[in-house]
């Protein structure tokens, strides 16, 4: 499903001269030919923060690690290539990446933002950036009429999550990015849930892509990181200035861990989506489950859009129980599945958004979009699907007793 070659105009040090390879090969080869001195297949980690200058007025290209680091640079080149962008920027977390991007905007700026939004992004906008005069309106970003109705003279950008977290709503990226460009707005897409393996928003018209790389890109619940990819050189220069000035950069050890995780992204994403669809289908038929939100279902309102703009589905979905009283015993009785926040790792995790990931969103807003006290989000890992179904089955049986 995902074997289309990446565009040849972008190069990385790990794939020089092999630009027509499929994405699986690009992922596996990240950093593998970067060390030309020793020929090390596993990229060495450069912990240095300072670098000698050959002489006055000359530089090796590395001066101070906040500005540029050898290990981080390989990661940044790789994600720029994978997302078909001009430049990549590795940050200390997904929230740090968003802070750098939001710093493009000045006091008085207004943003249009996906209504079904990750709670941490809402918190950053409403409790931090609002203090600096930046405001946001939350709309269904797939509804052009709603976007147009909420457009203001000071609107500067539209921020899109697709699929959204946790209700898996889909936005037609090509349509909305075209609209944004016609209104001279930046289009920013959070691609955390699909990764460039399944979806490449810049190819669909986006200006900026962000990732919480702690999730599927890292894939092992062991590294905290965020990534930014920019579409063109002028935008890259602006983000590079902010990235360096703010200092929200990723250290060399975490850069290496992230690259190591990304090498197996293709294998993991295939297994994640296969397991998730199987389990979502099983849950949809369970008598204690009222509704399952998965864009791979033909009944999902965004199914056709998702099929058109992405080559696969993510490994998370959400489901709503028929009775809120079932939530606590279900979470208490799962054994293989961990009741834990985060998503995208090889281990299966289940989250209760109303009190965890979306706790900072006011209750009336949560309930309006459907994040109520019966909703659970399931990040399906790469375990054997029959073991995961068996764990859910016994936990649901125990919950109703």
**DSSP secondary structure, 334-351, as one string:** -SSSEE-S---SSS-EEE
What is d(CA 273, CA 14) in angstroms, rounded to the nearest whole number?
27
Alpha helices in 16-126 (DSSP H): 23-28, 70-82, 94-102, 119-123
What is d(CA 15, CA 108) in angstroms, rounded to the nearest whole number?
43
What is d(CA 204, CA 15) in angstroms, rounded to the nearest whole number?
24
Tens-digit pLDDT string for the chain (401 aa): 444 555 433 333 444 455 689 999 999 999 998 888 899 999 999 999 999 999 998 999 999 999 999 999 999 999 999 999 999 999 999 999 999 999 999 999 999 999 988 889 999 999 999 999 999 999 999 999 999 999 999 999 999 999 999 999 999 999 999 999 999 999 999 999 999 999 999 999 999 999 999 999 999 999 999 999 999 999 999 999 999 999 999 999 999 999 999 999 999 999 999 999 999 999 999 999 999 999 999 999 999 999 999 999 999 999 999 999 999 999 999 999 999 999 999 999 999 998 876 666 777 777 777 788 999 999 999 999 999 999 999 999 999 98
Catalytic residues, which ones? 66, 118, 190, 215
At residue 59, φ and ψ (nearest 5 deg) are -140, 150
From residue 55, give the alpha-carbon distance in Å to each of 31, 59, 61, 65: 29, 8, 13, 19
What is d(CA 17, CA 209) in angstroms, rounded to the nearest whole number?
26
Question: What region does 290 belong to: left with phi over 0, alpha with psi -120 to 50, or beta?
Answer: alpha
Which of 234, 247, 211 lies closest to 67 in space, CA to CA?
A: 247
CB atoms within 10 A of CB 26: 22
CATH class of the structural domain 23-262:
alpha beta
Q: Identify the helix (H) or strand (E) that includes residue 138.
A: strand 135-139
Alpha helices in 206-361 (DSSP H): 233-246, 252-262, 265-284, 303-309, 327-333
Q: Which long-range contacts (CB under 8 A, 24 or more apart) does 189-193 make?
A: 189/159, 189/160, 189/161, 189/162, 190/118, 190/121, 190/159, 190/160, 190/161, 190/162, 191/83, 192/94, 192/165, 192/216, 192/344, 193/161, 193/163, 193/165, 193/314, 193/316, 193/343, 193/344
Look at residue 370 in the predicted model and tell me its pLDDT: 76
Contact 340, 214 (CB under 8 A): no
Which of 116, 163, 155 lies closest to 135 in space, CA to CA?
A: 155
Per-residue exposure over 139-159, b if at least 16 CB sit within 10 Å of its own CB, e if not? bbbbeeeebeebbeeebbbbb
What is d(CA 359, CA 350) in angstroms, rounded to the nearest whole number?
16
Give counts: helices (H), strands (E), the chain.
Answer: 14, 12
First to last CA, the chain: 42
Q: Where are the domains of the chain?
A: 23-262, 265-399
- What SS3 class is residue 96? helix
Look at residue 15 in the predicted model and tell me its pLDDT: 42
Query: Which one of 3.90.1150.10, 1.20.120.350, 3.10.450.50, 1.20.20.10 gives the CATH number of domain 265-399?
Result: 3.90.1150.10
- What SS3 class is residue 280? helix
What is d(CA 192, CA 210) in angstroms, rounded to the nearest whole number?
7
CB atoms within 10 A of CB 61: 8
Task: Give 381's contacts (C-beta < 8 A, 6+ positions apart).
Answer: 272, 275, 315, 345, 346, 347, 348, 349, 388
């Amino acid at each position: 499903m995902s074997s289309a070659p990446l565009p040849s105009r972008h190069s990385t040090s790990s794939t020089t001269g092999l630009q027509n390879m499929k994405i699986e090969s690009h992922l596996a080869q990240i950093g593998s030919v970067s060390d030309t001195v020793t020929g090390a297949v596993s990229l060495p980690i450069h912990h240095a923060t300072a670098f000698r200058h050959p002489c006055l007025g000359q530089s090796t290209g590395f001066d101070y690690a906040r500005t540029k680091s050898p290990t981080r640079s390989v990661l940044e080149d790789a994600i720029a290539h994978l997302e078909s962008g001009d430049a990549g920027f590795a940050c200390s977390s997904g929230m740090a990446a968003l802070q750098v991007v939001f710093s493009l905007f000045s006091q008085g700026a207004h943003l249009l933002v996906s209504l079904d939004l990750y709670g941490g992004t809402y918190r950053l906008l409403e409790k931090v950036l609002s203090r600096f005069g930046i405001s946001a309106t939350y709309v269904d970003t797939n509804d052009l009429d709603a976007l147009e109705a909420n457009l203001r003279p000071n609107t500067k950008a539209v921020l899109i999550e697709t699929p959204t977290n946790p209700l898996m709503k889909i936005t037609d990226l090509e349509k909305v990015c075209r609209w944004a460009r016609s209104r001279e707005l930046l289009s920013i897409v959070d691609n955390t849930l699909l990764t460039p393996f399944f979806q490449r928003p810049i190819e669909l018209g986006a200006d900026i892509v962000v990732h919480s790389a702690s999730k599927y890109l890292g894939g092992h619940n062991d590294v905290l990181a965020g990534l930014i990819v920019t579409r063109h050189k002028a935008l890259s220069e602006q983000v590079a200035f902010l990235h360096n000035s703010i200092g929200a950069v990723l250290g060399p050890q975490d850069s290496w861990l992230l690259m190591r995780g990304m090498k197996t992204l293709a294998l993991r994403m295939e297994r994640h989506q296969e397991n998730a669809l199987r389990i979502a289908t099983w849950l949809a038929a369970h008598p204690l489950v009222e509704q399952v939100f998965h864009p791979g279902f033909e009944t999902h309102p965004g199914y056709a859009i998702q099929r058109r703009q992405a080559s696969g589905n993510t490994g998370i979905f959400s489901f709503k129980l028929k009775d809120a009283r079932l939530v606590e015993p279900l979470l208490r009785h799962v054994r293989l599945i961990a009741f834990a926040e985060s998503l995208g790792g090889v281990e299966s995790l289940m989250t209760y958004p109303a009190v965890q990931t979306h706790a900072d969103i006011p209750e009336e807003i949560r309930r309006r979009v459907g994040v109520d006290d019966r909703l659970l989000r399931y990040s399906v890992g790469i375990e054997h699907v029959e073991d995961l179904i068996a764990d859910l089955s016994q936990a649901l049986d125990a919950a109703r007793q």
